[in-house]
Amino acid sequence: MENINIAAVLARWIHFMAGVMWIGLLYYFNFVQVAALKNAAADGTAGGITKHVAPRALLFFRWAAVVTWLAGAALLGPLFVDAFLLRNGMGGIGIGAWLGTIMLFNVWVLIWPNQKKILGMVTASDGEKNKARRVAFLASRTNTMLSIPMLFFMAGGWSHRALFGL
Amino acid sequence: MKNPLDSLWGTVIAGFVLTAVLYVFARNFLG
């Protein structure tokens, strides 16, 4: 049997599973929940979403982001630094890694702290809630935008690096 | 000018445009 790097196989598997959960929930928020909440608020049924659905979705969303990043870092292994410095043929996957890292930052620094205010998990005035709503919305939309090139560079940045002349 | 991120489809289009820009950057400026 040929020499198989079990750790790399497991890291790739976990990276994919957690990544599907992370980006899947990101797309749920942006393609489904934002519009649904607007309609639900109009007929007074938003409480079910904000009380029961959103906190649970956010729980899996933010921790899936962490697991995805850690498994990706493990997968890069000794090539981690080359990827983030965009050198030695790792520029394509490195751009994907940078985009994923910016997205992880947005989740934990911009989306989650502001969602806690919006959902009433921490005390906030109405003015603070309105500001939090705008920041969380734009950070979430930014991540949706970044996910498109991120997935392109993740998908082809290493296995199809000839596409980038690398 | 409206923020494209306020619209879902503006967000998606911005993502594709950013992909093209980053691809040109990767193709021409990375080693």
CB A45 within 8 A of CB A94: no
Residue in chain A closest to B22 (alpha carbons) equals: A149
A73 located within any domain: yes
A47 located within any domain: yes
CB A143 within 8 A of CB A103: yes
CB A165 within 8 A of CB A104: no
Q: How many distinct structural domains can be found in chain A?
A: 1
For residue range A42-91, what is the model confidence (pLDDT) as tens digits? 999 999 999 999 999 999 999 999 999 999 999 999 999 999 999 999 99
A72 located within any domain: yes
Model pLDDT, residue A3:
67
pLDDT at A104 over 80: yes
Q: Taking the CB of residue A129, how many other CB atoms lie within 10 A of it?
A: 14
Within chain A, residue ranges assigned H as helices are 6-27, 34-42, 46-48, 54-76, 80-84, 91-105, 112-118, 126-156
Contact list in B for residue A92 (CB cut-off 8 A) is: 26, 30
Percent of chain A residues past pLDDT 70, beyond the cut = 98
A23 located within any domain: yes
CB A130 within 8 A of CB B1: no
A140 located within any domain: yes
**Cα atoms found within 13 Å of the Cα of residue A109, Cβ hemisphere only:** 7
Does A141 sit within 8 Å of B11, measured CB to CB?
yes
A102 located within any domain: yes
CB nearest B5 (choices: A95, A145, A152):
A145
A134 located within any domain: yes
Q: What is the pTM of this model?
A: 0.94
Domain ranges, residue A28: 6-164
CB A67 within 8 A of CB A56: no
CB nearest A164 (choices: B6, B8, B30):
B30
For residue range A10-48, what is the model confidence (pLDDT) as tens digits? 999 999 999 999 999 999 999 999 999 999 999 999 999
A1 located within any domain: no
